[in-house]
Chains A and B, each alone.
Chain A
């Protein structure tokens, strides 16, 4: 009789543990899906996007819907995976889409014109003088775009949507 009651207790405890684990697992999955498919916070820093984003570090929200349905256009701030080091994510502005003719300065005396090939985008930082972008590594495949930045959370005086 006692053995049976022990068994019952153990069974209910095990069931509870399983239930709790399932809830935590589901929560983590939900977090992953929102982060990857809807929107996620990102910390961006560095001089390349001055004066739009600060040097010291801004927290911005990036949404992951529009690049999947192909709605990224000229003037959008995007997160892209760096073609030089795939572990780094860059924040830049889309300047040209496929088929556009882009004119850029390699150095102050000399400008160059290229046509963006099919399925590629041309990205540049807002701070022309301190930005490593398409002027160095050429047009980027659209598949490297990870998200579109649309809202600034931090610092508080810059809170609000980012205009294009």
Chain B
């Protein structure tokens, strides 16, 4: 009997921890690894470094879906819902964005409820330049800090190429 109750207690503790962890990671913040070199100077600066960067993702921005230019966000890939990507928001709804696709320049307006995302390493990044603006509803959180490895702990800064974006209506 004693072992059974011990087992039951530990199962209960385990379940409670799981519930609390899931809730926190859904509603408040979570920690995710960054794979690949598409955000290269900001995350994973050396491609041959075998450790991935781990980043803190906050979920408070999902209450109102309000973002700023230059925020780094996690979002579901529009072509495969199981994949998550980390990219930087360059333009928000209503902005005009200059794109250079196959060495021919174009300007387009980001539609209502959408945003334009690009990786910091434009040479190897699958982003809005290939799949166009994405709905803001796909965004799953905002990256605020790098938390691992220890020598790279720090804030993720908000930078964006101002000369490419114009909010002229």
Contacts and interface: CB of A to CB of B under 8 A. Distances in A.
A75 interface: no
A144 to B, nearest CB: 5
Chain B contact residues: over half helix, strand or loop, or mixed?
mixed
Contact of A33 (B23, B79, B80, B134): B23
Which of the listed residues A70, A81, A118 has the most CB atoms from chain B within 10 Å of its own CB?
Answer: A81
Nearest to B76: A143
Can you list the 3 inter-chain pairs with the closest CB atoms, starting with the nearest? A143-B76, A81-B137, A119-B79
Interface of B: 16, 19-20, 22-23, 26-27, 64-65, 75-81, 111-114, 134-139
Given A86-B65, A141-B138, A143-B138, A32 B26 contact: yes
A87 B113 CA distance: 9
Interface string A116-149: 0111100000000000000000001111110000
Contact of B20 (A29, A37, A120): A29
Nearest to A118: B79
Interface of A: 25-26, 28-30, 32-33, 36-37, 70, 81-87, 117-120, 140-145
A141 B78 contact: yes
Contacts of A70: 81
Nearest to B21: A29
Given A30-B19, A84-B112, A85-B112, A119 B80 contact: yes
Contacts of A30: 19
Given A85-B112, A119-B77, A141-B81, 18 more contacts: A26-B16, A26-B19, A29-B19, A29-B20, A30-B19, A32-B23, A70-B81, A83-B113, A83-B135, A84-B111, A87-B64, A87-B65, A117-B79, A119-B79, A119-B81, A120-B79, A143-B76, A145-B81
A29 B23 contact: yes
B113 A86 contact: yes
Contacts of B80: 118-119
